[in-house]
Chains A and B, each alone.
Chain A
């Protein structure tokens, strides 16, 4: 009881004051901060003006001229710099999204392994975590790229599977489905159905059991989608390289692996710390109710650990997104490499490019952290 008294109530504040005073001081601090910001901006603007430099973003609409080595958009050299920014940004988002998913899964697995009662599991996970989190991330990415993926065979000696999948130093070549007339519509419908079915089942007034047949819709759409395909593009060796199909380039794989493993090591530690932070009595209580270890972990320990975990995971995710710029070292065409490298150099607009780049990273990270903050609010202990 003594503890709650000291941590709650306004008397416990570090600097006790009336709320009206507090508001006044907050206003003063905000005002000073704005003044400083304005002063910085004004300073920069006047210095630029004195050197005959102006902030001019019109270069964004000029043609870029260069080609993108790997992309998920359809950027062509004749497109504008703004399109190049979009293409490079989508590459950054792709590797970040892939990295966040695998880092989380891997981190959870490693973290749970570290808590295992088996010595082998515990020390294997401990060894991996210590090895990964105590070496520089850039070094690891370059290691995966130069030390592992560049040892793969040349195109003509590819490791092939059934003449459809080919793995060589140029990447993993896969067959690629060619869409027919209805493919795009059907794909959109499939995605829509996957979102709508659970929602409908949740909010429909009828009994949940009665709406079970709704789950038949997505598989039917999927079959229709496969039927609508006009064929497959199969990678075949031609000249220097494989033509057709689609390719997963080693740059993407190396960066993905490097980012995932590094973040996973930290996530594993977060998981371990959070689980160990759950009061011992909870586990004992679960056991005494007759729950086995796995249900105990899943139903009792992890939900409580999640509260402690989420804010720390947010940090890791934001770090991972920012670290994706390390891909510049191994030729992954992400936003720093393309926009702050090629575009900056071709246009010479260094300050504008850097301002845009900072804006992009800031907005992505603010969005991500806002999303995770909402998640956190849902899982946090509800204090009434």
Chain B
């Protein structure tokens, strides 16, 4: 056997070995709770990717503490997995880097008002676990513009911030209506607001959650109206990396638990009292019957701790978007039983 033959032989051997190994890996199932949770437990904290700062979803208050809808989700996860909602390290991510930091393993989970789309799921190798907020892109325009619906915006210029899919949605919408809408893209919202205020553009566009916040920052909010229709579906949700479906399962069922808790009237305040309940769904959710938590690889009290620390889905929504906060009607974000879209899978 000459030297080159030997090298060839070695290469083939290792190729066959690798092929065998990889088939073995696909055939075998991941043991609970999966490598991500093991890493989280070893580290003692959950690294949660959130928005770098947007009212409602995630922002830092004057003392530097993280607050917001997505932040509460991080806390619920930490409570379920680690037993303590405070054991979270928040990583504020910009729209540009969010998926890359998730792919690279810098964060365990991305809960950052990010729309779940085909290209993010397939193209980026991410898992779209659950929708936690249904939004849609809308328009805020000057009332004196005289346009009542988005279809009347032919030839208008709309200001918006870059880093989302806003400009794509507007172009799609205009193409579908056979009109032209010019979009002006700003890096930061301050300059975009200033341009809208000065009349450089006829309106401002963003997700419905952010439009309400934008309108409140205008000099005379009453001069502006938010158009009734939305031009895109923006299911904002939780993203994890492909490859650890055990971890994705845990994230999915913690989200389901928060929504189920609202369904059964379990709140942050009455969760201990509800332990006396005879309802089998409540008992399973709170870990009194069965071993649902254990099967996931967190303990049986996991969901109980999550609800105890942040409350149910409705409570989280009200804290950050309710009438006392940003005042955004719940609409699609109601439970299915209230005319909304949240339809949690049953615990059985």
The interface of chain A, by Cβ under 8 A from chain B, is: 51-53, 59, 65-67, 69, 77, 142, 145-146, 150-151, 154, 169-170, 238-241, 243, 250-251, 328-331, 333, 337-338, 340-342, 344-348, 350-351
B125 on interface, CB distance cutoff 8 Å: yes
Q: Say how far B109's CB is from chain A's closest CB, in angstroms.
A: 16
In the bound assembly, the distance between CA atoms of A331 and B145 in angstroms comes to: 22
Question: By the criterion CB–CB under 8 Å, are A345 and B162 in contact?
Answer: yes
With contacts A146-B198, A151-B198, A338-B185 known, what are 8 further pairs, Cβ within 8 A?
Answer: A66-B167, A67-B167, A146-B194, A239-B155, A240-B155, A329-B186, A337-B162, A342-B167
In the bound assembly, the distance between CA atoms of A238 and B156 in angstroms comes to: 11
In the bound assembly, the distance between CA atoms of A52 and B22 in angstroms comes to: 14
Q: Which of B154-212 contact A (CB under 8 A)?
A: 154-157, 159, 162-165, 167-168, 170-172, 174-175, 180-188, 191-192, 194-195, 198-200, 202
In the bound assembly, the distance between CA atoms of A167 and B181 in angstroms comes to: 21
Question: By the criterion CB–CB under 8 Å, are B164 and A240 in contact?
Answer: no
Q: Say how far A145's CB is from chain B's closest CB, in angstroms.
A: 8
Contacting A250 at CB < 8 Å: which of B170, B194, B200? Answer: B200
In the bound assembly, the distance between CA atoms of A238 and B186 in angstroms comes to: 26
Question: By the criterion CB–CB under 8 Å, are A351 and B188 in contact?
Answer: no
Complex interface: stretch among B32-40, B100-108, B329-337: B100-108
Contacting B125 at CB < 8 Å: which of A53, A59, A77, A331? Answer: A53
Q: Say how far B224's CB is from chain A's closest CB, in angstroms.
A: 16
Question: By the criterion CB–CB under 8 Å, are B171 and A65 in contact?
Answer: yes
Contacting B124 at CB < 8 Å: which of A77, A142, A150, A348? Answer: A348
Query: What number of B residues sit within 8 Å (CB to CB) of A?
Result: 49
B96 on interface, CB distance cutoff 8 Å: yes
Contacts of B124 in A (CB 8 A): 348
- B199-237 interface bits toward A, Cβ cutoff 8 Å, 1 = contact, 0 = none: 110100000000000000000000000000000000000
Question: By the criterion CB–CB under 8 Å, are B95 and A345 in contact?
Answer: yes
* 15 cross-chain CB contacts under 8 A: A52-B103, A66-B167, A77-B171, A150-B194, A150-B199, A169-B198, A240-B155, A330-B186, A331-B159, A331-B191, A340-B96, A341-B163, A341-B187, A342-B162, A351-B100
Q: Say how far A201's CB is from chain B's closest CB, in angstroms.
A: 47
Question: By the criterion CB–CB under 8 Å, are A69 and B99 in contact?
Answer: no
Question: By the criterion CB–CB under 8 Å, are B99 and A350 in contact?
Answer: yes
Question: By the criterion CB–CB under 8 Å, are B182 and A331 in contact?
Answer: no
In the bound assembly, the distance between CA atoms of A100 and B66 in angstroms comes to: 45
In the bound assembly, the distance between CA atoms of A145 and B199 in angstroms comes to: 13
Contacting B186 at CB < 8 Å: which of A52, A151, A331? Answer: A331
With A65-B171, A169-B199, A241-B155: A347-B119 Cβ-Cβ less than 8 Å: yes
Contacting A67 at CB < 8 Å: which of B123, B183, B202, B243? Answer: B183
In the bound assembly, the distance between CA atoms of A239 and B180 in angstroms comes to: 13
B19 on interface, CB distance cutoff 8 Å: no
In the bound assembly, the distance between CA atoms of A260 and B214 in angstroms comes to: 34
Question: By the criterion CB–CB under 8 Å, are A51 and B167 in contact?
Answer: no
Question: By the criterion CB–CB under 8 Å, are A53 and B165 in contact?
Answer: no
Question: By the criterion CB–CB under 8 Å, are B195 and A329 in contact?
Answer: no
Question: By the criterion CB–CB under 8 Å, are A51 and B105 in contact?
Answer: yes
B262 on interface, CB distance cutoff 8 Å: no
Residue in chain A with minimal CB distance to B183: A69
Question: By the criterion CB–CB under 8 Å, are A337 and B185 in contact?
Answer: yes
Question: By the criterion CB–CB under 8 Å, are B191 and A330 in contact?
Answer: yes
Contacts of B159 in A (CB 8 A): 331
Q: Say how far B341's CB is from chain A's closest CB, in angstroms.
A: 25
- B78-122 interface bits toward A, Cβ cutoff 8 Å, 1 = contact, 0 = none: 000000000000000001110110011100000000000001100
Contacts of A340 in B (CB 8 A): 96
Q: Say how far A76's CB is from chain B's closest CB, in angstroms.
A: 10
